[in-house]
Amino acid sequence: MGFCAVDFRTKLLVLFVALVVWMSAGRAQASVVITGTRVIYPEMEREVTVKLNNDGNTPALVQVWLDDGNPKTLPSESKVPFTVMPPLFRLDPKKGQGLRLFYMHDPLPKDRESVFWLNVLEVPPRDAPAGTDGGMNKLRLAFRTRIKVFFRPIGLKGKPDDAAAQIRWRLVSKGDGDYALEAFNPTPYYVSFSRIVATAGGLHWTGEKGGMVNPESTASFDVGHLQAMPSAPVAVKYTYINDFGANVDGTPNPLPNHRSAISRSVHQNSAALLPNSSDQGGTLFTFAKNKKK
């Protein structure tokens, strides 16, 4: 009986500690903030500067490195054609620090963008020694923030802000009875979506997670339980993220061969899904726009 009572109290204590940690983590937030949500590195630039600010009330130790897309990459394992300075520093409260990114001119594709990730790790200061006013044990949390770094070669065709409108969409089976939206990006630019909505006959299927489509590549987006190909005309409404990190509602380009049909079925800021009879292995859809009058 005594053993059971102790065991029960131990479980309660573990549960209580876990609850405290969970509540503390839920209220905690990073003090070191990156200005901006993405970095554009034009090839012609000698360096690019990224600004950090410590909005907290205590100093922080900050470590910075880049990776090629693997979030598990340690600073010592990073193999990217960039150098960031300074890689390790103290950032006092209410102060800022500029990070300098240098391209080391290692070979990268010239006909498309390349993407890397900037990591900013914030480590809070240690507690004061025992016996002082700050000697109480505290939970310390380290925060890591990752943002994309887009390397943009000289002479790429088109404009980044026009890339989202050139995405070609089609509905494809996921193999489990549901359908997904597949996007093909024919441009040399990465296109990031924050929201994608497929609409047909008054129904909506939304992909709130968004995602990114690589240059000259295909990506699939889950839009919920779309279990059959809609019989009504389908449109794709989307929001993409521009170079400045702003959310922009898309306005797809018109298709010359389908302009008259599109004007009757597509709303502003929507992409029409139009069958392409020349496509094999599925129904291909492309964008169209209803122009403003």
- pLDDT confidence of residue 129: 55
Q: Do residues 228 and 258 touch, judged by C-beta distance below 8 A?
A: no
Mean pLDDT value across residues 209-226: 90
- pLDDT confidence of residue 28: 59
**And the tokens for 2?**
């005594």
Of 162, 160, 163, 179, the closest CA to residue 171 belongs to: 179
**How far is residue 174 from each of residues 163, 200, 269, measured CA to CA in Å?**
26, 19, 27
pLDDT digits (tens, 9 = 90+) for 127-141: 655 555 555 566 678
Question: What is the distance between the alpha carbons of residues 258 and 226, in angstroms, rounded to a whole number?
Answer: 26
Question: What is the distance between the alpha carbons of residues 32 and 95, in angstroms, rounded to a whole number?
Answer: 10
Best mean pLDDT range from 96-110, 163-177, 210-224 = 96-110
Q: Do residues 196 and 181 touch, judged by C-beta distance below 8 A?
A: yes
Q: Which residues contact 76 (CB under 8 A, 6 or more apart)?
A: none
| pLDDT higher than 50, residue 153 | yes
- pLDDT confidence of residue 9: 57
Poorest-confidence range of 23-37, 66-80, 165-179, 197-211?
23-37
Question: What is the distance between the alpha carbons of residues 228 and 171, in angstroms, rounded to a whole number?
Answer: 10
- pLDDT confidence of residue 133: 52
Q: Do residues 240 and 193 touch, judged by C-beta distance below 8 A?
A: yes
Q: Is 8 helix (H, G, I), strand (E, B) or coil?
A: helix
**And the tokens for 97?**
């620090």
pLDDT digits (tens, 9 = 90+) for 44-73: 999 999 999 999 999 999 999 999 999 999
Question: What is the distance between the alpha carbons of residues 220 and 231, in angstroms, rounded to a whole number?
Answer: 21
| pLDDT higher than 60, residue 254 | no
| pLDDT higher than 90, residue 36 | yes
Beta strands in the chain (DSSP E): 32-34, 38-42, 47-54, 60-67, 82-85, 88-91, 96-103, 114-123, 143-152, 168-173, 179-185, 191-200, 203-207, 211-213, 217-226, 234-241, 247-249, 271-272
Of 144, 175, 196, 147, the closest CA to residue 30 belongs to: 144
Give the residue, 148 or 276, on which the prediction is more confident: 148
| pLDDT higher than 60, residue 162 | yes
Poorest-confidence range of 100-114, 201-215, 221-235, 259-273?
259-273
Give the residue, 109 or 236, on which the prediction is more confident: 109
Pairing of strands 38-42, 143-152: parallel
DSSP 232-251: S-EEEEEEEE-TTS-EEE--
pLDDT digits (tens, 9 = 90+) for 218-247: 999 887 777 777 777 778 889 999 999 999
